[in-house]
Every structure is written in structure tokens, then in C-alpha cells.
Amino acid sequence: MTSDRIADVVHGGPDESGAALHDFSTNGNVVGSCPAAVAAIRAADAAHYPDPRYTTLRARLAHFHGVATERILIAASASEFIHRISAAVAQGGGSQVWLPAHSYGDYERAAQAWGLQSVRAPASHASAALRWCCEPSSPLGQAQADLVQHAESTNGICVLDMAYEPLRLEGRASLDATRRDRVWQLWTPNKAMGLTGIRAAYAIAPDGEDAAPMLQRLDRLAPSWPLGTHGVALLETWTGDEAQAWLAQSLQTLRMWKAEQRAICESLGWHCLPSDGNFFCARTDRPYPPLATALRAEGIKLRDCASFGLPGHVRLGVLSPQSQQALKEGWTRATASNEH
């Protein structure tokens, strides 16, 4: 019964067989886990509750982003915030949510859970009470062409998912600081810190008094202590010079690995789509689903993009050269076996 109930939830990462040795299906920083964050998590005092108001943490995050502390909202994870703000919009009388043409599935799942109608680009967002944007986008890792238009629109609430901005390897953000202050920003540093198993996130409300009613509603909808002490330790470390220096160095490595990975995929006859992030999508030379079981047996997992509305494509997080070689050899064996 339980497996049927959650069968429609599609994610990358570990599955019922555990974590794949060469897991291309998720987009965390595979250079490693940030040493400063790991040390802080190990030193965290898990014997006591954190401050329920997260006073120090919110002040640090506000200083890091150069915004007022009252604009910082703590969330248990990006997905928790997605569901919470969807609930808040529904409570406020909203009826429609606008989504990009291809997007993270939790946006739509949260809308469905709260009885909100979802409309997807290129449909108009004029009637939407909540609009979801993401840059670099998911799953493509590209710039969102209409992002400036969304930032300048006064229709409903716009949330900009910043999950992959810290892992940007190419290009530049479409919004300047002034336009970014007009939207809700959702930050999830656990990907950049290489610690996706630590669930912790935060949102930055738009600048101005108009955001106050939604902030109050979101506060009322929050559970007590959405973050434990380990999540607090991760976010506090994220704001520090040591973690940011480590991240900058890791991006240099990821840029080299990304170029090598694209070359390997192209050598297999795949068509790689452009991406600014630490991942990219590719149209494979033959369908992935029939080969998925054989590849998984070799410790290789890709993210099928059919659930994103991109059948025939896979999304690949950038992995090390060793994993890239395993993919090349595994794909070659799997396709040869499938032909026989």
C-alpha cells in the first residue's frame, strides 16, 4: 500500500537499493563535503533544542546577503518551503500556480496537495497567485528567458528557486540585486556544500512592507524547530569565509570535470544540451529506461527526464573522471547486451 501511495514521487539519488556508486541522478557537489561544514556538524550540540527563533542564524544569513534580518525565513528544506508557501497561497484565496515548461516536480505536487490549479509555460501567468522560477533552471540548468519579466510583474507572488546558483559554472544571473529584491528567494546550500543529507534551507522575502502579511502567514504555518542543530550548523558555516573559499575552489574542479563529461557523452553519440550548472541534460543514442536495470547493477544511475516532460533525455550531475569512465564502459556493455 505504501509503495503504491508514493509511486508517483520521482527523485534522483538513493533508491530502494541504496546509493549508486556512480550516481549521476542527483546534483550535489561531488568534489566532496565541505570540511568546515562537516566539522561544524560533528561539533553541533544535539543534546539541546536550537533557539526556536533562530536569532543568531537569521542575523548571520541576513548579513551574508546584505538584507534586513526580518526578511529571513528558516525552512526545513526547499521542499518544505514549497509546500508551506503553497498552503499559504491557498489559505489566502489563491487558485492558480504558474510553472516553467520544465521544472522540479514538488512545485506541482504541492499545488495539487492544496487544491491549486497548475498552468505551465507558455501559458500566461497573469491569473496566477503563485509563480515558480528557477535559475539555473531544473532540469536543464539554463537561464530562464522570462525571469526579468517575472521579477517586474506585480501579479501574485514570485519565488525564485536559487538551488543551483551557488553551483553555477557558466553564464551569469539574469537578475541584478534590485530585481532580485522584488521576488522571494529560496536558498538550499546543502547541495553546494556536498551535504544533501542535511536538510536545511531558508527564504529571503522581497524588500518592502507588502511582503509582511505573507511572512506572518508562513511563520504561523511553520512547525516548531524546523531545523535541528545540524541544519543550523550547516547554514551558519555556509556564510563563513572558509566555506565560501572551499566552494570557489571546488567550482574550478567541476568546470574541468564538466567539459570532460560532455566529451564522453558526445563520444557515445549523445546530444548534450547547454547548461550553466553542475549538471546537464542529454538526448541519449537509445532509450535509457530499458537499460536502467543493467546499468544500476553496475552501480550507475542516471535521471530519466520523462517526468520533467523531456522523454528521450537524461539529466547527469557532473561526477569525477573515474565515474565518467564507468558510465562510458557501462553504457557500451548495456547497449551491446540489449541488442542481443
Binned at pLDDT 50, 70 and 90, residue 1 comes out as: very low
Please tell me whether residues 211 and 312 are part of one structural domain: no
Q: Do 196 and 112 sit in the same domain of this protein? A: yes
**pLDDT, tens digit, for every residue of 284-305?**
999 999 999 999 999 999 999 9
pLDDT value, residue 100: 96
**Are residue 112 and residue 228 in the same domain, yes or no?**
yes
Q: Within this chain, do residues 168 and 293 fall inside the same structural domain, yes or no? A: no
Residue ranges making up the domain that contains 321: 18-31+243-339
The domain spanning residue 64 has which CATH number? 3.40.640.10
4-8, 74-78, 178-182, 303-307: least confident range: 4-8
| Shared-domain flag, residues 83 and 186 | yes
Write out the DSSP string of 36-60.
Answer: HHHHHHHH--TTSPPPTT-HHHHHH
Is 308 part of a structural domain of the chain? yes
Angular region, 82: left φ>0, alpha ψ -120 to 50, beta rest = alpha
Give me the pLDDT at residue 340, please: 58
Q: How confident is the model at residue 18 (pLDDT cuts 50, 70, 90)?
A: confident
Residues 218 and 332 occupy one common structural domain: no
Give one DSSP letter per residue of 79-92, joined into a string. Answer: HHHHHHHHHHHHHT
The count of domains in the chain is 2
What band does 6 get if pLDDT is binned at 50, 70 and 90? very low
In the predicted model, what is the mean pLDDT of residues 169-180?
Answer: 96
Does one domain contain both 176 and 158?
A: yes
Distances (CA, A) of 197 to 28, 41, 184, 295: 10, 12, 24, 24
Instruction: Select from 205, 225, 240 the last residue of a domain.
Output: 240
- Domain end point (choices 191, 217, 240): 240
pLDDT tens digits for 41-85? 999 999 999 999 999 999 999 999 999 999 999 999 999 999 999
* Least reliable range by pLDDT among 10-14, 102-106, 166-170: 10-14
Residues 300 and 164 in one domain: no
Q: Is residue 10 part of a domain?
A: no
Does 4 reside within a domain? no
For residue 4, name the pLDDT band (cuts at 50, 70, 90): very low
State which of 240, 268, 284 marks the end of a domain.
240
- From 195, 145, 139, select the one nearest 164 (Cα to Cα): 139
229 and 317 co-located in one domain: no
Tell whether omega for the bond before 50 is within 30 degrees of 0, i.e. cis. Answer: no
